[in-house]
Structures are given as C-alpha cells and as structure tokens.
Amino acid sequence: AALEKLHVHMESTTDTPLFWHCSHGFHINKHNNKDGIPGCRQIHSLDGYSKNFYSALWAKGRHTYSRQYASGYLPHRRRGNAIATVTITRSRLKANGKSHATDFLDSPNAFSCPDHARDLEPYIDTAFTGADSKHMKQRVQYACTRFDNADCPDAVLKVGTGTLPGDAVAGAWFLAPYHEALDAISRDTPHHRLCYQCPWAALVWPTTRTPYNRGGYYTASSPANGPHSTPEVDVSLQSYADDSSKTYTVPHYLGLLEKARRYAEAADERFAEKGFRNNADKAVSLVHFCGKHAEAYTRATYLIGGLPGQVARAARYLGPLLSHNGSNQPEIRKRVNAMRAGYGAFGSFWSRNPNMRWTKTVFMCMVTGAALSGLLAIVLK
C-alpha cells in the first residue's frame, strides 16, 4: 500500500524522492600502480528500490545509442565481440598483405565527464516523454553524493557532471554522448574506414577471397551466394564502454603519420565537444607494415616516431595482449608465466597433500584457470 501511494504521488507531482538520488560514495582500487585519487575508482551506493525503478523506466525508452561497433552495456554484445573483431580484422589485413595500424584511445575518467544539462539531459528528451522524461532527468538534476568524514559530519557534494557508476542506468546513459562523439570522429576520418559487405563478413568469410580498395575504403568481395543487398559495415572502429580502438590501412610511413595525426586531431575535437578528453600521451598504436619496404618503414616508425601516442610491439586491449604483427607469443608467454606463478605459490603443497580432490581443485583454479581464462576471445593460429 505504501509503495502504491508513493507511485501515485510520483505520477501526480512528476517528482521523485530526493534520497533516491543521494549516494554514499566509496572508492575501490584500480590496481594501476598510482597513488591517491588517480589510483581509485568511485562507486555510488544508491537506494536499491530506486535502482530497480530507474532500470524499469529506462527499458520503456526509445533508445538510439546502440551501434554496430559497440559492446558493453548492450544486450548480446560482450567484451569478446570487440576483441574478436579487432584481432580478426588485423589478421585478415596481414593475410592479404595490407599494411595497417591500430590506435587505442585513452579517455581518462570518461564516465564523470559529460555535462548533465548539455550532454545527458538532451538524450532523455528524445527517448522519453511526459512524466517519464521528468523522472529520468531528476536522476542527474538531484544527484549528490555523501562521503564519510572522521573529523566532522559527512560531506555532501552536488554532482554536476557524469553518470553515477553503480547506478543501473549509468553505463547505458553514458553511451549516448560517447557514441555521438565516436560517430563524429568517424565522419571526420572517412579514409580510415574498413568496410565489409555484410556484418558477419569479418567472422565468416574465408581469408582467401581477394579484398579490393574503393575510394579509400577496404571492402571484402562477397561470396557468390552472399547477401549482396546488405549495406557495408565499418569494422575499423570497436568500442567497449569507454575503451575504443581504430584499425586502418596505411600505404607507407608518411601515410601512417598523416592518418594517425588526423585521427588524433578529430578525437581531440569531437571528444571535447561532449566533455571528454583524449589523452594522446597515453594512446598506444600497433603498426604492421607489409610489402617491399616493410622493414624500412618499421624502422622509421620506431626510431623516428612522430605519432601522437606511443608505438608499441604489444598492447593490452580488454584483457588479451595483442602483438603488432598478430603473433600470439606475448599472450602465450603471459599465460605461461601466470601458470608458473600459480603453481610455484603453493610450493610443496602439490607433493605433500594426500587429498587428491583438493589438489585437483587448487590446480584447476590456480594453474588451469590462468591458462584458459578468456581464451574464447583470442584468435589462435
């Protein structure tokens, strides 16, 4: 009865309880070897019923933030989709002798960047109407967070930017302005695109089919019985929440510099429009040249440099360690070392423990788990 009266009051006044939007903030360690605030991630503990209410309310909206390149906070799109698309695309380019580069963008504290009035609330006007729209906007208009204080009463701070990590709708709401920024970057860099004739081309079609270039686009020729009517899909861009990557072909070293700088400039401009920041100093690029002058171009890339970020021989993307030439050796070495560390941590336990059931359980957790964790998303050759 009390809940019924609450909802009747909310519908008649188009208002929600203020305590629903006041969170108890606490921090968890990012494990990034940094001290103080840069090494912590703030999580908001909100009222449980309000989270359920806004989760149900969000499901009623007419949402437009879903993209074919996006994974994370979207139904049926997992982290493995982004990893597999990046690794398979790079493998196809190498198999067909196409020099290419992959840039991994870094946008620090992305979830807390979008402005409420400028970036988050306008999306609500397009997805909701009437009382639902007002209730959704109050999630950020009334947002505040409370911190424990040992010397005086708890500090209560008004939250003016970003969604609240820990809320049921925080991730999906964040994607609205973030995907708009990625869309704008892609429009500004049309010659960075890698298009296939159908969405599943990168995952299904054999590598023996000959790709061709068309107006700066890399398009795989469709099989004879393929769906020719399906629009081309750009597989160069992949994102998982706030982690994005861009793969594009490069003709030579100077062409690499031109494309990398153009993409970094577009990212700086378009991210800034939505309140994000592109940290070019922490951006990582994987570069692989093919063909006659591949060795000279590779040497110039590492010795002369000139790219906006750093050029690496291997980079971590959503877990797995990706090599510049598509080799699995860096990831394999990492897993072997983790297996050895897990096995060695128990010392003589393996030989002195008479209970084989316990021995097997510990071995499966510490050794086998380190070897097989996340293998589903790795392209083995």
DSSP code string of 105-163: E--TTGGG-SBIIIIIHHHHHHH--HHHHHHHHHHHHT-EEEE--SSSSPEEEE--BS-
Query: What parts of the chain have a pLDDT lower than 50?
Result: 198-229
Which of the 8 DSSP states describes residue 223? P
Residues 101 and 250 sit within 8 Å (Cβ to Cβ): yes
pLDDT digits (tens, 9 = 90+) for 187-206: 999 888 887 654 444 443 33
Residues 123 and 76 sit within 8 Å (Cβ to Cβ): no
pLDDT attached to residue 197: 56
What is the C-alpha to C-alpha distance for residues 49 and 168, in angstroms, rounded to an integer? 11
Decide: pTM greater than 0.85. no
pLDDT attached to residue 45: 84
pLDDT attached to residue 107: 84
Which of the 8 DSSP states describes residue 347? T
Q: In this structure, how many other beta carbons lie within 10 angstroms of the beta carbon of residue 224?
A: 6
pLDDT attached to residue 231: 60
pLDDT digits (tens, 9 = 90+) for 200-243: 444 433 333 344 333 333 433 334 344 444 567 788 999 998 88
pLDDT attached to residue 378: 60
Copy the structure tokens of residue 283: 């951006």
Handedness of CA 292, 294, 300, 303 (dihedral sign): negative
Start-to-end Cα distance in the chain? 62
Candidates 282, 278, 257; CA nearest to 267 is: 278
Burial category of 132 from C-beta neighbours within 10 Å (exposed 0-12, middle 13-18, buried 19 and up): middle
Residues 312 and 324 sit within 8 Å (Cβ to Cβ): yes
